[in-house]
Amino acid sequence: MAREPRKPIQKDDVLTLLGYALPVLGGLLGVVYVNINHMDFINPVWAVGGGAILGWVAARVMRKALG
Amino acid sequence: MAALDQTQVKEGVDQETVDAVREVGTYKYGWDTDIEMEYAPKGVNPDIVRLISGKNEEPEWMTEWRLAAFERWTQIDEPNWAMVSYPKIDFQDQYYYARPKSMEEKPKSLDEVDPKLLATYEKLGIPLKEQMILAGVEGAEDMPAEGRKVAVDAVFDSVSVGTTFQDELMKHGVIFCSISEAIREHPELVKKYLGTVVPVSDNYYATLNSAVFSDGSFVYIPPGVRCPMELSTYFRINAENTGQFERTLIIADKGSYVSYLEGCTAPQRDTAQLHAAVVEIIIEEDAEVKYSTVQNWFPGDENGKGGIYNFVTKRADCRGDRSKVMWTQVETGSAVTWKYPSCILRGDDSQGEFYSIAITNNYQQADTGTKMIHLGKNTKSRIVSKGISAGKAQNTYRGLVSMHPKAKDSRNYTQCDSLLIGDKCGAHTVPYIEVKNNSSRVEHEATTSKVDEDQLFYCRQRGMDEEEAVALVVNGFCKDVLQALPMEFAMEAQQLVAISLEGSVG
């Protein structure tokens, strides 16, 4: 049986992925920020949580903007 | 080691192997240089103070400053509040000035330099290119050198033998020289800053140092300059029955940056020797200074005989807004350590950090810590102290965090961990916290633990012997501090941690 040709990555795929990737990336950036600026005495929980929420918001905005 | 010396070496075993085995568990830098020395008469009195001042060709105001310090020293008592005990020091039964005779006049070529002095540097692991500069050979500075990154000021007993890369640093406006040279060449800077951070009558040993300091290092970083290389000082005590009293003065002007390293070693002797140093750091607006120390003085033998009495006063004054200072220290040597590098956070938004590892083995005693004095608004400080005790050693952390009324919204975080190896050693923690306003926050965490048997078992079942396993656990325990060290020191410090604990297990 012949295999179906692979579908090219669609715009929807990218937009769906953004919704997951950006919050994770935001959380990771929060960890990096806490480690680099250790004299700011930021609670890591807030930094990771804040980063994740900012990532989620960014993903929402991008999805809206890109239709 | 005596037993090993008497052991007959089997046929076929080469000398290198025999030497390597003999070195295990011994102090690596315990040898001395048989070099012709010039001494001042024993003891300390106004004549000795004048003699030291005269040897350094100092101006009159400096001699007067020293004499005033000596006068003050005779009026104050030796402190006894530290948790260390040692036989009473006879301050009149030691030399306060000793220099190699070959350093009477600066040598002009390598041929003129005492070969023993050169061999000393080679043995201490200072590269050959630098060896010529350290020996004070004129013109050696212009020779190309691969991968040079650290300028060195080498202090041998009471004199600075040489300072490397001075010309290159001068191109950036950085002054790096011995303090005796600075007093002669830059008196306006020395006069303005000397004794302003550690006053003459600050404490017993600082006052003694003010009277009899023979040499040390001087650094001035002009405004807006990032020092192009790391600066360092290497202190070597060689002469017997001689104290070393060096003074370091670092001035970081507005917006400048410098990383400074300090190392020290001394020969292995049965009699204790005194080392009383003072380090003053002035940090102006937006400037940053990192000061790292690997202290490896002779710690005394396994029975507590000999070693260096290390009484040091180190203080940084963050005078400008947004200024930063970072002290990092690895204390593995000396029989008695009495040392509290401090930060005066005077400027608003200034920051002070202190990272310390203090390892004591056999009969070593360490009473060390820091002082964070918050005076400016929104100032921040962080203290991470790791103390490791083994054998019959005593290790004390003594720290002060003081938030003054004007230090609004200031923060401090203190982490103070002690690790015990064996059942005859001691770890003590003495934190002082003073908060005189309602908006500041101070956090303090402290732990005391023994090396975890499970961790050792886990390591040993993977083929490590017990000493390797302990070294691995201790290195993990010290990770936070080792990471704060510059690359040049980090590897050395990691090995030193393992070596210092050799013989502590079993």
Q: Give the start-to-end residue ranges of the domains of chain B.
A: 39-106+150-450
Asked if A38's CB is within 8 angstroms of B380's CB, the reply is: no
Higher pLDDT, residue A29 or B150: A29
Of the given ranges (B48-52, B169-173, B419-423), which has the lowest mean pLDDT? B419-423
pLDDT band of B173, cuts 50, 70, 90: very high
pLDDT at residue B3, rounded to an integer: 43
**Residue A6 belongs to a domain:** no
CA-nearest residue to B351 within chain A is A39
**Residue A54 belongs to a domain:** yes
A39 and chain B in contact, CB less than 8 A: yes
A11 and chain B in contact, CB less than 8 A: no
Residue B156 buriedness (CB in 10 A; 0-12 / 13-18 / 19+)? buried
pLDDT band of B448, cuts 50, 70, 90: very high
Percent of chain B with pLDDT over 90: 61
pLDDT in tens, B284-307: 999 999 999 989 899 988 888 899
A36 and chain B in contact, CB less than 8 A: no
pLDDT band of B23, cuts 50, 70, 90: low
pLDDT at residue B446, rounded to an integer: 93
| Residues of chain B found within 8 Å of residue A39, distances taken between Cβ atoms | 351, 353, 380, 382
**Residue A43 belongs to a domain:** yes
pLDDT at residue B113, rounded to an integer: 62
Q: Please give the mean pLDDT across all residues of chain B.
A: 87
Interface test with A, best of B322, B355, B379, B380 (most A CBs within 10 A): B380
pLDDT at residue B144, rounded to an integer: 46
**Residue A24 belongs to a domain:** yes
Higher pLDDT, residue B312 or B160: B312
Torsions phi, psi of B387, nearest 5? -115, 130
B380 and chain A in contact, CB less than 8 A: yes
| Residues of chain A found within 8 Å of residue B351, distances taken between Cβ atoms | 39
pLDDT at residue B4, rounded to an integer: 45
**Residue A17 belongs to a domain:** yes
Query: Per-residue pLDDT for B125 more than 90?
Result: no
| Residues of chain A found within 8 Å of residue B380, distances taken between Cβ atoms | 39, 41
**Residue A25 belongs to a domain:** yes
Domain that holds residue A27: 11-65
| Residues of chain B found within 8 Å of residue A37, distances taken between Cβ atoms | none
Of B286, B45, B72, B66, nearest to B180 (Cα)?
Answer: B66
| Residues of chain A found within 8 Å of residue B382, distances taken between Cβ atoms | 38-39
Q: Are B414 and B380 in contact (CB under 8 A)?
A: no
pLDDT at residue B395, rounded to an integer: 95
Here the ipTM equals 0.74
B413 and chain A in contact, CB less than 8 A: yes
pLDDT at residue B305, rounded to an integer: 87
Alpha helices, DSSP H, located in B76-203: 115-124, 128-134, 166-171, 179-185, 187-193
**Residue A5 belongs to a domain:** no
Q: Extract long-range pairs of B58-67: CB within 8 Å, 24+ residues apart.
A: B58/B180, B58/B183, B58/B184, B59/B183, B59/B184, B59/B187, B61/B187, B61/B191, B62/B183, B62/B190, B65/B194, B65/B195, B65/B200, B65/B210, B66/B210, B66/B211, B66/B212, B67/B211
Average confidence (pLDDT) over B57-61: 94
A38 and chain B in contact, CB less than 8 A: yes
Query: Per-residue pLDDT for A6 more than 70?
Result: yes
CA-nearest residue to B325 within chain A is A39
CA-nearest residue to A42 within chain B is B411
Domain count, chain A: 1
pLDDT in tens, B231-283: 988 888 888 889 999 999 999 999 999 999 998 888 888 889 999 999 999 99
